[in-house]
Amino acid sequence: MFTGIIRDVGRVEAIAMRDETRVLEISTNLDLSEASLGASYAINGVCLTLVKKSREENETNTTETRSSWRFGVELGPETLAVTTLGKLASGAMVNIEPALKMGQALDGHWVQGHVDGIATLSSVELDADSIVWTLHVEAERYLPYLVPKGSITLEGASLTINSVEGHDFSVTLIPHTLQETTFSGLGVGDKLNFETDIMARQIERLLNYRTSQQCNPPQA
C-alpha cells in the first residue's frame, strides 16, 4: 500500500530482457540499507518488487563522497502491456515511493500501485505559478471514478481532480509537485499511468453485488 507521495526521482540506469520479463536497474538517493529483497516499491505508480540492490559511492564536486543506491525490479508481460513502464529507456527519470509502513502519516490517499490504465496529457496551461493539466481517459468504464475534488494517482503522485467533462479531467500541479516529481519534463501527448480511488471502486462493487442479489435472490 502507498500514499501517492513521491519520495525520490530516480534514474533508469540499465534495462535487460529475461525471457518475457524486463529488468530495470534504477539509481536512487533513498536509503535502502534496511530495505529487504521482496519489498514493494511504486515506480511511476506501479507496485513492483525489489529483487536486488547495491550501494554505490559517488564523488561530488566538493570532493566529498556521497552514497547512493541502485536497485532492480522486474516487469512481467501484464505490466508491460497496461502501463507506461514498457516505454522507458535508459536515462529516463522515474517517480519512486516505498511502501507505507505502519505508523507513517497518510499524507496523500490510499494507493495500491495497481494501475487502471493510461491517460493522455491533452492540454497544459499556466495558472499563476502553478500548471493545470487536462488529461483524456479513453476507457468508458473508468469515468464513474473521475469525481471533482476526488483523488486520482498519476505516475504515482496523489492529486486532486479539479473538474470532469466527458472523458477529460483536470488537475493542478503546484510548484512543489513539479519540483519533486518527473512532471516538469512532460508535455502534451505524453502518456501517464493512472489509478482511480480504490474506495470508490470497492463501494461500487458492493452496491452492484447487493443490487444483483435483490433482483436475483438465491433459489432455495
**pLDDT single digits (tens) 38-82:** 999 999 999 999 999 999 766 556 555 455 899 999 999 999 999
Examine the domain organization and report whether 14 and 87 are in the same domain. yes
**At residue 216, does pLDDT exceed 80?**
no
- Return the pLDDT at 110: 83
Q: At residue 99, what is the residue type?
A: A
Residues 93 and 151 in one domain: no
Grid cell of 169 as nine digits: 479531467
Residue 146 located in a structural domain: yes
Residue 67 within a domain: yes
Asked if the structure places residue 108 within a domain, the reply is: no
Give the domain CATH number at 60: 2.40.30.20
Examine residue 110 and state whether it is found in any structural domain, yes or no.
Answer: no
H helix count then E strand count, the chain = 3, 12
- Across the range 98-125, mean pLDDT stands at 91
Indicate whether 48 and 126 sit together in one domain.
no
Instruction: Say what the pLDDT of residue 48 is.
Output: 98
Is 91 in the same domain as 14? yes
Is 135 inside a domain boundary?
yes
Residue 115 has pLDDT above 90, yes or no: yes
Q: What average pLDDT does the segment 17-22 reach? A: 91
More confident residue, 112 or 211: 112
List all residues 6 or more positions away from 188 whose beta carbon is below 8 Å from its beta carbon: 121, 122, 123, 124
> What is the number of structural domains in the chain?
2
If asked whether residues 123 and 87 sit together in one domain, one would say: no
- Across 55-59, 175-179, 195-199, 201-205, the highest mean pLDDT is recorded for 175-179
Question: 161 and 200, same structural domain?
Answer: yes
What is the mean pLDDT of the segment spanning 164-180? 97
139 and 58 part of one domain: no
Buried b (16+ CB within 10 A) or exposed e, 65-91: eeebbbbbbbbeeebeebbbbeebeee
Closest CA relative to residue 135, chosen from 99, 105, 108, 173: 173
- The verdict on residue 154 lying in a domain is yes
> pLDDT-derived band of residue 5, with 50, 70 and 90 as boundaries?
very high
The pLDDT value given to residue 58: 66
Residue 90 predicted with pLDDT over 80: yes
Domain enclosing residue 129, as ranges: 117-204
pLDDT band at 211 (very low <50, low <70, confident <90, very high): confident
> What's the mean pLDDT when you consider all of the chain?
90
With a CB cutoff of 8 Å and minimum separation 6, the contacts of 66 are 57, 58, 59, 60
Q: Does a structural domain hold residue 24? A: yes
Mean pLDDT of 99-111: 84
Residue 103 domain-assigned?
Answer: no
